[in-house]
Amino acid sequence: MTTTALVTKPQAGDDLSIWPGSTTRLSHGGLSVGGVDLSEIAERFGTPTYVLDQGEVRERCRMYRHAFPDAEVLYAAKAFLSRATVRWIEEEGLGLDVCSAGELELAVTAGFPGERIVLHGNAKSPHDLEAALRLGVGRIVIDSPSEIARLAAAVGPEGHQKVMIRVVPGVAAGGHAKIRTGTDDQKFGLSLTDGQAHHAIARVLGQPQLELTGLHCHLGSQITTVKPYFVALRRMVGLMARIRDTHGVVLTELDIGGGHGIAYRPGEPALSLTALARRLRAELDESCAAAGLAVPRFIVEPGRAVAGPAGVALYRVLAVKHTGDQTFVAVDGGMSDNPRPALYGVRYAPRLIGRHSVAATRTATVVGRHCEAGDILAADAELPGDIRPGDLLAVPVAGAYQLSMASGYNLVGRPPVVAVHDGHARLLVRRETLDDFRARDVGL
């Protein structure tokens, strides 16, 4: 599929800064991404549909490799995973961070090397651990004391598995309370303040079949400043020095996690990757020199920052309702394909595409089709005043934590994912259908 529409000059206030870099304006009021008209994608694949710019994903992988040339970069699969993205990530030289046997098996069956995969999770099931050992993951991140004995038993006396320990560094960071994971009041990791981390380290070092290679921490998501990272880094290096002094063991890896914030609406702050890499490199060198430690191999785990800006969600308007001074624009998707606004108040900037409107803009609330008052996709959205049923809306920055968190609510069916690149569109993940629901429902 290619587009032949002419490109027009930008309109006043027409900000495409948060869209994929390949985005261009078309003469009929539409947009193309990856050289493909988004309106044509909606006609061909229906709506809702997720569009993923392959070139943008790859370019963001390269940005991380360039910013952290001496570090190991792991893509956080929970943001979005498919067989195609597995291949792109592998070809761009990144490793992979998975949180379940499902993510792990999909990656390995798509050809990703097991030794370049790290398994996370605060409550790993026996199936998760069995799959990790069977498929030869590079490292398993221990998140709780009970995992140590379970993993050692699963490895067996003659086996060997590299592990890291997730430490809670006591740093509060992140865009919302529900996505902050660096403090003691949440479910992840082992605390520095109450001694859990120290106790777990000693237990792991007492298991000869488990090789402790390093420490891991993750502060949260949507972090837009550098300071929380270097505060956490100092504390982690301090812990590594204490491990050396207490146990005579020098750890060789330090994983500072991800959570790198991106802008969902024009003008919002985003984390500077260049500033992050420069400050962390300098802080790591300085802290290790002060502690008399060799500089460990550094690891970062971007997910949202790679996939998020590469995605666009397409919806068809079903109804427009004016209630008092409010305008509700209802679309054919909602919290079943994007629960993030309902979970923690994420704000998006939808845009009318497919026709050129000269109407003045007005503030509207874009809502979904589900039987929940909280089914809101975009509050305070600026849309043309003549928005009407049948119109097509495109929502940028839709590549992460939308389809991966989608549900089967109201049996609507999860949308497909379409990749665009060099003027061509191809289906990566098909639309979920009634036949899929019937196949799972075996009770009749």
Known catalytic residues are 371
Q: Is the separation of the CB atoms in 77 and 303 below 8 Å?
A: yes
220 forms bridges with which residues in the sheet?
180
419: tokens are 């990749």
Exposure string of 398-413, with b = 16+ CB inside 10 Å and e = fewer, is bbbbbbbbbeebeebb
The span from the CA of 437 to the CA of 430, in Å, is 14
Backbone angles phi, psi at 197, to 5 degrees: -60, -45
The span from the CA of 171 to the CA of 84, in Å, is 35
- For CA atoms 285, 287, 292, 294, the dihedral sign is negative
Distance set, CA 270 to CA 21, 217, 385 (Å) = 16, 21, 30
The H-or-E segment that residue 118 falls in is strand 117-119
Beta carbons within 8 Å of 214's beta carbon, 6+ residues apart: 164, 251, 252, 253, 254, 255, 296, 297, 299
The span from the CA of 296 to the CA of 316, in Å, is 51
Q: Three-state DSSP class for 252?
A: coil
Question: Counting beta carbons within 10 angstroms of the beta carbon of residue 194, is it exposed (0 to 12), middle (13 to 18) or buried (19 or more)?
Answer: exposed
Q: Three-state DSSP class for 80?
A: coil
Q: What is the dihedral of CA 407, 409, 412, 416, to 10 degrees?
A: -10
Q: Is the separation of the CB atoms in 421 and 54 below 8 Å?
A: yes
- Is the bond preceding residue 48 a cis peptide, omega within 30 degrees? yes
364 forms bridges with which residues in the sheet?
381
Give the distance from CA 194 to its chain's centroid.
Answer: 30
The H-or-E segment that residue 155 falls in is helix 145-155
